[in-house]
Amino acid sequence: MKFFIDTADVAEIADLASSGLVDGVTTNPSLIAKSGRNFLEAGREICALVPGPVSAEVTAVHLDGMLAEGRKLAKLAPNVCVKLPLTWDGLKACRALADEGTLVNVTLCFQAGQALLAAKAGATFISPFVGRLDDIGQEGMQLISDIVEIYRNYPATLRTEVLVASARGVNHVIEAARLGAHVVTVPPKVLRDLALHPMTDKGLAAFLKDWEATGQRIL
Ligand code: G3P
């Protein structure tokens, strides 16, 4: 499963990307606003930090504007993935941009029918927002299960990768992997949390204490 970082914080991306465990980045207008950065400048910097797709979202809501913005964003760097909302105009823009060879991430997906249309529109990625469904008492990961099952029925025609978004913690990541999602995008903290367990810390401390008692050094 691929790990994308869900942030526009360039310093955080640089730090985590140095681990070699980051495959891409997703941003959205709210994350850009939170960063306080110029969108296009930050986008170029982020694209230089990771090898894989960097999602940059259009802000137009009608087809012509989506296409104009998407084509401008696609020129920022070869690994830009244009992010489009799951609306009819977004689906039409997805089809057009995908036909031009542009990577497309169709976002704000909340039910499987939307994911089916996005795949038919040639989306590279579909972004179901699991955390926001959980927030309203629905089962976000059930949507992932449904989409993975549906896409698996049509391997020759539906090539879209399931990109689990709005993931709020380690359990979302683990469940996404169990279900066979292709990608999960997480805030920096969640990726760091994935490496943590108190018994790991406790066990390491015990190893080092016992080693210290030997008086030996490896170097
Ligand atoms: O990639 C989508 C993500 O940024 C949304 O997360 O926590 O605002 O639902 P959240």
pLDDT tens series, the chain, 219 aa: 999 999 999 999 999 999 999 999 999 999 999 999 999 999 999 999 999 999 999 999 999 999 999 999 999 999 999 999 999 999 999 999 999 999 999 999 999 999 999 999 999 999 999 999 999 999 999 999 999 999 999 999 999 999 999 999 999 999 999 999 999 999 999 999 999 999 999 999 999 999 999 999 999
pTM of the model: 0.96
C-alpha gyration radius of the chain: 19
Predicted confidence at residue 68, as pLDDT, reads 98
Distance of CA 156 to the CA centre of its chain: 24
Is 209 annotated in the active site?
A: no
Question: Which amino acid residue places its CA nearest to atom 3 of ligand 1?
Answer: 166
Q: How far is the CA of 38 from the centre of ligand 1 (A)?
A: 20
Q: Which residues line ligand 1 (CB under 6 A)?
A: 6, 26, 28, 31, 129, 131-132, 165-166, 185
Mutate to test the pocket of ligand 1, among 3, 5, 9, 28 (most ligand atoms within 8 A of CB): 28
Question: Which amino acid residue places its CA nearest to atom 6 of ligand 1?
Answer: 166
What are the tens digits of pLDDT across the range 65-79? 999 999 999 999 999
What is the 3-state secondary structure of the chain?
CEEEEECCCHHHHHHHHCCCCCCEEECCHHHHHHHCCCHHHHHHHHHHHCCCCEEEECCCCCHHHHHHHHHHHHCCCCCEEEEEECCHHHHHHHHHHHHCCCEEEEEEECCHHHHHHHHHCCCCEEEEEHHHHHHCCCCHHHHHHHHHHHHHCCCCCCCCEEEEECCCCHHHHHHHHHHCCCEEEECHHHHHHCCCCHHHHHHHHHHHHHHHHHCCCCC
Predicted confidence at residue 135, as pLDDT, reads 98
Question: Can you read off the two tokens belonging to residue 93?
Answer: 């823009």
Predicted confidence at residue 144, as pLDDT, reads 98
Predicted confidence at residue 170, as pLDDT, reads 98
Predicted confidence at residue 14, as pLDDT, reads 98
Q: How far is the CA of 187 from the centre of ligand 1 (A)?
A: 8
Active site residue: 34, 72, 83, 120, which one? 83
